[in-house]
Amino acid sequence: MAGQLRAYRRQIRSVQATKKITRAMELIAASRIVKAQAAVRASSPYARALTRAVSAAAANSTLDHPLVTEKPNVRRAALVLLTSDRGLAGAYSSNVLKEGERLAATLREEGKEVLPYLVGRKAAAFYRFRRRDITAEWAGFTDKPAFENAKEIGDRLVADFATDEAEGGVDEIHVVYTHFVNMVTQEPRVIRLAPLEVVEGVEAPGDGDLAPLYTFEPSAEDVLDQLLPQYVTSRIFNCLLLAAASELAARQRAMKSATDNAEELVKNLTRLANNARQSEITQEITEIVGGADALASAGSAH
Amino acid sequence: MALQVELVAADRQVWSGEATMVRARTADGEIGIMAGHEPLLAILGSGEVVITAGGNGITAHVDGGFLSVDHDTVTLVAESVQVGGGSPATQSGH
């Protein structure tokens, strides 16, 4: 009986220790989401300026750069997966991987070969466990990406896209990342990074004049040559930042529910422990009363 | 008439506001831009960018990027921007 009580107490202590850890992780994640969101905001002027310039250049020149040209038959597609380095973030990484698997299946159905470019240790572990080939992998920065990380990934992708498919290049680049909608909603999204779809139109020119005719320096081709890879990198950077914010939000939520569960467990265990203690006392009293009764009846019999 | 100028690095906006002149180094050489400049898209080389805005300007070193001019709006974009060059008011303009 006493052993049971001791066992409950030990369990309560261990659950409380776990709760302290998950609570700390929750608070850390919560404070870092704010920073991650600020990073997303800070990078938006760059992305906006690039988008504006690209659409201006697109409107002013015949856009026949390889990065925007659809190749006639696509045979090799790059699949970029943005996952986390660490676990304890609920279904964050597995959602991206699931979406990636779905996309890979679709691409294969279209007769394309899928080449995985993995970001985050979780994606690499997923592929390695299944003994699949990995074209490229990066890790170690998923919760706090720097522009250099995006540049490294972007340079590699642009280089592979420029390479002929017979020599190991790719014809298409798809990215799966987690979009940060708000603190409670993050959803995996797929974008096609290349060939680029130049979206936003140029701002309508004021004063009733025609769209400005740009002068390019040194030449339109050179400007596009420089702009488009930068545009690709900036989109990757944006995806990385949004994914980082999503990862932290997912971790915060996972750790919050872990903390709540621990609290619930402690409550139940405390109840059980009290029960055990009470029944121990009851039993002792019963034993004493029973013993006294026996003594009394033994005394009166004489 | 003044120029609306934005100097943007990959991870932050470095400077924005009104200026009278922008000087930068493009791939072809130094360029100075004042209000009324024709629309331009140019590649920036590695070098200094000087934004003159009446005692409120900024000098910065940029490492490649590009420059666009459109309706007196100048946007300078670079992957890395290092503010420096002795202007006492480098923190202003935010």
Q: Please, what are the domains in chain A?
A: 26-201+222-255 (3.40.1380.10)
Q: Is there a contact between A170 and A76 (Cβ–Cβ < 8 Å)? A: yes
B42 touches chain A (CB under 8 A): yes
Residues of A in contact with B31 (CB under 8 A): 217
- Say if pTM beats, i.e. exceeds, 0.90: no
Token pair belonging to B56? 């409120």
What's the pLDDT score for residue A202?
Answer: 47
What's the pLDDT score for residue A118?
Answer: 95
Distance (Å, rounded) from C-alpha B52 to C-alpha B34? 10
Which stretches of chain A score pLDDT less than 50? 200-210
Closest residue in chain B to residue A209, using alpha carbons only:
B71
% pLDDT > 90, chain B: 10
B89 touches chain A (CB under 8 A): no
Nearest to A216 among B12, B41, B77 (CB): B41
Show me where the domains of chain B are located: 3-83
% pLDDT > 70, chain A: 91
Which SS3 state, helix, strand or coil, does residue A138 take?
strand
What's the pLDDT score for residue B54?
Answer: 78
Distance (Å, rounded) from C-alpha B51 to C-alpha B57? 5
B27 and A222 within 8 Å at the Cβ level: the answer is: yes
Residue whose entry in the numeric block shows the structure tokens 């201006």: A56
Distance (Å, rounded) from C-alpha B74 to C-alpha B5? 5
Distance (Å, rounded) from C-alpha B38 to C-alpha B17? 20
Query: What CATH fold (topology level) applies to the domain B3-83?
Result: ATP Synthase; domain 1 (2.60.15)
Which stretches of chain B score pLDDT less than 50? 86-94
On whether ipTM exceeds 0.90, the answer is: no
What's the pLDDT score for residue B89?
Answer: 41
